[in-house]
Amino acid sequence: MSQPTTGPAPARRRRAGRPASGVLDRRLIARAALDVVSAHGYAGLTMSAVARALDVAPSALYNHVGSKQELLQWIQELVMDGVDHSLFATRPLDEALVRWAQTYRDVFADHAPLIPLIAVMPVSSSRRLLEMYESVTAGFVRAGWPREAIVPAIVALESFVFGSALDATAPADIFDPGEHAGTLPQFEDAVGAQRATGKRSADAAFAVGLRAMVAGLLASRG
């Protein structure tokens, strides 16, 4: 009597939504941590919270990342991927600065809770951040800037970018005078005129400020 043939045992299915520890990698963990910070701020960023977001045990997470500080470094690197500093090698300084600042502001407008963290984090914590600064610095050098004036110019632009990124998250009615309507004719007319353009006030302010800052920096040349 012939024996029934047997095929390979069916593969065990992993529960949906729960990555095995081998599936975890640096980028996946950083993305989950970024989601936690964006939703709950720095106070909500704990290893347990990130583990819950990934649907793994905290012990599995610690197999990949050693501390919350290291996790912040990973978040910083992930976010900085969206900042375009490629033009500093090939384009005039003003064009490169505008592109860099625009992408910088857009990235942090999407991740505003990170600004107080990353703005004061030592640059040594992120290789990508250092590479960005190297590119921007090289652009200033190509344009003939004195070395001692480059870092202050970069910091001034970054301060404007971070402020503009926060402004981009403000409510659309931030300039409504409320109960004081009708008593501020000049300001109310200016607000109304700006709204009539159809542009968000935060976007218009950023465009005006960026043009002024870049023009002023290039005119001063350090």
Identical fold at 21-79 and 82-220?
no
Task: Label residue 222 by pLDDT band (50, 70, 90).
Answer: low
Tokens matching residue 93: 């300084």
When the pLDDT of each residue in the chain is averaged and rounded to a whole number, the result is: 87
- pLDDT by residue (tens digit) across 84-116? 999 999 999 999 999 999 999 999 998 888 888
Give the amino acid at 202.
A
Tokens matching residue 136: 């921007």
The topology (CATH level 3) of 21-79 is: Arc Repressor Mutant, subunit A (1.10.10)
The topology (CATH level 3) of 82-220 is: Tetracycline Repressor; domain 2 (1.10.357)
Of all residues in the chain, what percent carry a pLDDT higher than 70?
Answer: 90
Q: Which residues have C-beta within 8 Å of that of residue 156, sequence separation ≥ 6?
A: 213, 217
DSSP class of residue 56 equals: S
What is the pTM assigned to this prediction? 0.78
Q: How far apart are CA 157 and CA 105, in angstroms?
A: 10
- pLDDT by residue (tens digit) across 21-79? 447 888 899 899 988 988 888 788 899 999 999 999 988 888 898 888 888 888 888 88
- The domains of the chain are located at 21-79, 82-220
Q: Is residue 11 predicted with pLDDT exceeding 80?
A: no
Q: How far apart are CA 56 and CA 52, in angstroms?
A: 6
Q: Is residue 4 predicted with pLDDT exceeding 70?
A: no
